[in-house]
């Protein structure tokens, strides 16, 4: 931490800017080098001051936070952008995360936590509020597990025992054709190429 981390504060409320500045001035190794009150100013200040980290509010008049973020990210050798927002609705911040924000914290963090966030972001990490992570990990990509039908699970269990289609047909009193149909559906749902991989999946999933 020899060189201080140079920080630009961007928020349309002077009170918030002053608050953040006061927070950060007492932190070792962090130096607030400028402020901006809207997206356009933010971009020009980044070009002029070359900060290491930008603290950016999302809700701003004119060029909004997300757009400012995109423009800053488009600059050569862009700074890390830490979104500091007051609304607790994480879905609003997803576009920002996709646009390349290096982090996302609520305004109510305490000073040392904010400093930790700035240092982490400066060190190259991406830092998110737990809610956002939940949203990304759960809501967005629903991790839909295969959802096999009852019959398909039965067939898969047989496949996982190494049975051939003919054997499965006999044991479940089906035509071999039907077994093939089920196996085919299973492969599609599990997104695997052949019965061997399906069998491995079944074992891993504990369907043996």
80-85 vs 103-106, strand pairing mode: parallel
For residue 153, what are the contacts with CB-CB under 8 A and spacing of at least 6?
207
Residue 200 CB, shortest distance to DNA, in Å, is 12
Residue 6 CB, shortest distance to a second copy, in Å, is 16
Position 91 contacts a second copy (CB under 8 A): no
Given DNA, a second copy, none, residue 175, with its beta carbon under 5 to 8 Å by kind, binds DNA
Position 125 contacts a second copy (CB under 8 A): yes
Fill in the DSSP letter of residue 100.
T
Position 105 contacts a second copy (CB under 8 A): yes
Phi–psi pair at 194, nearest 5 degrees: -150, 175
Given a second copy, DNA, none, residue 130, with its beta carbon under 5 to 8 Å by kind, binds a second copy
Phi–psi pair at 11, nearest 5 degrees: -160, 145
80-85 vs 30-36, strand pairing mode: unpaired
Check if the beta carbon of residue 18 is closer than 8 Å to that of residue 46: no
Position 158 contacts DNA (CB under 7 A): no
Given DNA, a second copy, none, residue 208, with its beta carbon under 5 to 8 Å by kind, binds none
- Kindly tell me which of 49 and 174 has the beta carbon lying closer to DNA: 174
Position 15 contacts a second copy (CB under 8 A): no
Check if the beta carbon of residue 155 is closer than 8 Å to that of residue 128: no
Which range in 75-83, 106-114, 122-130, 168-176 contacts DNA by CB under 7 A?
168-176
Distance between the two ends of the chain, CA-based, in angstroms? 55
Reported as type and span, the H/E element at residue 35 is strand 30-36
- Kindly tell me which of 71 and 151 has the beta carbon lying closer to DNA: 151
Position 61 contacts a second copy (CB under 8 A): no
Position 190 contacts a second copy (CB under 8 A): no
């Amino acid at each position: 931490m020899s060189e201080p981390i140079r920080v630009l504060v961007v928020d349309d409320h002077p009170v918030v800017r002053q608050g953040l500045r006061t927070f950060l001035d007492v932190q070792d190794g962090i130096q607030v080098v400028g402020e901006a009150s809207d997206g356009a100013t933010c971009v020009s200040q980044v070009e002029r001051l070359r900060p290491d980290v930008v603290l950016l509010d999302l809700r701003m008049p004119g060029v909004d936070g997300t757009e400012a973020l995109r423009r800053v990210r488009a600059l050569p050798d862009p700074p890390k952008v830490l979104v500091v927002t007051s609304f607790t609705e994480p879905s609003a911040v997803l576009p920002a995360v996709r646009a390349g924000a290096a982090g996302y914290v609520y305004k109510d963090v305490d000073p040392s936590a904010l400093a930790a966030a700035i240092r982490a972001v400066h060190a190259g990490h991406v830092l998110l509020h737990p809610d956002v992570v939940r949203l990304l990990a759960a809501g967005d990509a629903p991790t839909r597990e295969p959802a096999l039908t009852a019959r398909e699970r039965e067939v898969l269990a047989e496949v996982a025992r190494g049975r051939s289609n003919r054997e499965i047909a006999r044991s479940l009193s089906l035509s071999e054709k039907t077994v093939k149909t089920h196996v085919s559906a299973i492969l599609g749902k599990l997104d695997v190429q052949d019965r061997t991989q399906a069998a491995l999946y079944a074992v891993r999933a504990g369907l043996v």
